[in-house]
């Protein structure tokens, strides 16, 4: 494969790099009535689904991702 010269590199298409898989904020029931909110390597335990969803929505908004409820 030939090495492109500087003109080819300068005119190469540029775009947005998309990270795969796209991260999400997950909301999981704990099995005993509490709810987990999981973002990357972090997890928070909430006493109600409503509290967990509100926290997950705030995290998702701050990081530009979506919430997935399991």
Name the residue among 53, 50, 22 with its Cα closest to residue 37.
53
- What local confidence, expressed as pLDDT, does residue 16 receive? 72
Predicted local distance difference test score (pLDDT) of residue 14: 72
Over its length of 70 residues, how does the chain's per-residue pLDDT go in tens digits? Answer: 666 666 655 566 677 777 678 899 999 999 999 999 999 999 999 999 999 999 999 999 999 999 999 9
Model pTM above 0.85: no
Residues 6+ apart with CB under 8 A from 48: 35
Q: What is the pLDDT of residue 55?
A: 98
Q: What's the confidence (pLDDT) of residue 7?
A: 61
């Amino acid at each position: 494969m030939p090495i492109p010269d500087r003109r080819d590199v300068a005119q190469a298409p540029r775009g947005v790099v998309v990270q795969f898989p796209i991260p999400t904020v997950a909301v999981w029931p704990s099995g005993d009535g509490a709810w987990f909110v999981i973002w990357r390597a972090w997890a928070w335990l909430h006493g109600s689904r409503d509290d967990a969803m509100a926290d997950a929505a705030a995290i998702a908004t701050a990081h530009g991702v979506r919430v997935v409820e399991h």
